[in-house]
Chain A
Amino acid sequence: MALPPLDSPQWQSPWRAFAWGLRSITQTILTVVLFVTYLGIGALAHDSHFSLLWALCSTLFVWAGPAQIILITTLGSGATIIQSAIAVTVSAIRLFPMVVSVLPLMRTPATKRRELFFAAHLTAVTLWVECHRFLPQVPRERRIAFVNGLGFGLVSVCLTANTVGYFLAANLTQTLGAAILLLTPLSFLFSTARNSREVADVVALALGILLYPLAAKMNSGLDILVSGLVAGTIAYGVHWWREVRA
């Protein structure tokens, strides 16, 4: 499926643009990655004793895979609400530069801020990547409708995946249930590694994994925050050191 040319009458209706956005989810391998990831999140929610409604609400209103697994894992292993909220807040900071960089792609001089509300809510790493790929092929005045369609499609795929994963975890044999749960760490590890373009990102990922078991031994209840802050700051130090030498 190719999008119609920029001057095509197909783009005259915002609803058509929404439909083109919706159909574009079939044009990317990231949809499959999202499906697998959210299958795992559904299973993780089940085995961490959350309800299906809870899992679906987290996908709909949080709409950030890393934040969702941080939330499920920390709350499920007995962290306090404050500890979970801090970890999620820090993980979500990266949404800020994403929103800042993606919204100008859809803005026209006549665009009102409230028209961008859903686009801002739908912004997460997958949508961010796809906007940079698809939006140059969409007329500027139809981009908000297109992005809303794309985001609506991706959210629907993830809600379906959550539901399937939840029931699979409830009904499968132990081995297959374990296989579904293993999807989460694998898909997050590799998608984060794939998105790591700079040395600081690679060091943060590798050190973050290696330092967690050490931080967990301290049993402070803040394991994730301690290992994250230390590993992230060392990674930043490596970045800084290379900049200074360069």
Chain B
Amino acid sequence: MSFAQLIGDWHALAVLFVAGVVPNQIWRMLGLWFGGGIDEGSELLVWVRAVATAILAGVIAQIVVEPPGALASVPDALRYGAVGAGLVVFLLTRRSIFAGVVAGEVFMLAGKWWLG
């Protein structure tokens, strides 16, 4: 990997600023300036939080359903199975994030090894 590849181009960094940095900092700075007058339990915030959670859920689904890079080499059933196995262990271990992640990974690696 060359040095230039590690740096990338300025265009991608500009996109990061416009689509990533600004949309996040707006909310933090609004919180800094106008904090205090907002009711945390207000109905609008409940809806906003639900939509934000569902957007993140969609991205999680996108990575599993239309996987990038090396993850695409894992068969569909194995990817879905790994998430399912992780979820079962997560629920059985009283919501241990660590146990869920390990179980999902082990399922995927074992499946890959078994399929050859």
Residues of A within 8 A of B (CB): 29, 32-33, 36, 43-44, 46-48, 50-54, 57-58, 61-64, 66-71, 73-77, 81, 84-85, 87-101, 103-104, 113, 116-117, 120-121, 123, 169-170, 172, 174-175, 177-194, 196, 198, 200-201, 203-213, 215-216, 223-225, 227-233, 235-236, 239-240
B25 CB to nearest A CB, Å = 7
* A216 and B66 in contact, given A208-B55, A224-B59 (Cβ under 8 angstroms): yes
Most buried by A among B8, B21, B28, B109: B28
- Cβ of A67 and Cβ of B31 under 8 Å apart? no
Which one of B23, B53, B69, B105 lies within 8 Å of A208 (CB-CB)? Answer: B53
CB distance A121 to B56 under 8 Å? no
Residues of B within 8 A of A92 (CB): 23-24, 26-27, 52
- Give the residue of B22, B49, B73 whose beta carbon is less than 8 angstroms from that of A201: B49
Q: List chain A residues, Cβ under 8 A from B90.
A: 190, 193
A169 pairs with B8, CB closer than 8 A: no
Q: Which residues of A contact B13 (CB under 8 A)?
A: 53-54, 57
Interface centre among A50, A198, A224 (most CB of B within 10 A): A224
Identify which of residues 1-30 in chain B touch chain A, using a CB-to-CB cut-off of 8 Å: 1, 5-9, 12-13, 15-30
Given A101-B40, A182-B82, verify A33-B28 contact (CB < 8 Å): no
- Expressed in whole angstroms, the minimum distance between the Cβ of B108 and any Cβ of chain A is 6
- Contact yes or no, B19 A100, CB < 8 A: no
Nearest CB on A from B41, distance (A): 9
Which residue of chain A is the closest to B41 with respect to CB atoms? A97
Inter-subunit contact B20/A200 (CB<8 Å): no
Given contacts A75-B19, A185-B63, A232-B53, whether A179 and B58 have CB atoms under 8 Å apart is no
Query: 15 A–B contact pairs at CB < 8 A?
Result: A54-B16, A81-B15, A84-B15, A93-B27, A95-B27, A98-B31, A120-B28, A177-B69, A179-B108, A182-B82, A188-B59, A193-B90, A200-B50, A201-B50, A232-B52
Interface string of B40-52 (1 = CB under 8 A from A): 1001011111111
Query: Which residues does chain B contribute within 8 Å of A190, judged by CB atoms?
Result: 86-87, 90, 95, 97, 100-101
Tell me if A50 and B8 are in contact (CB < 8 A). Answer: yes
- A100 contact from B5, B9, B12, B31, Cβ within 8 A: B31
Q: Are B68 and A177 in contact (CB under 8 A)?
A: no
The answer to whether B105 touches A179, judged by C-beta atoms less than 8 angstroms apart, is yes
Are A208 and B19 neighbours in the complex by a CB distance under 8 Å?
no
B92 an interface residue at 8 Å Cβ cutoff?
no
- Give Cα A177–Cα B108 distance, bound, in whole angstroms: 12
Contact A182 B6 (CB under 8 A): no
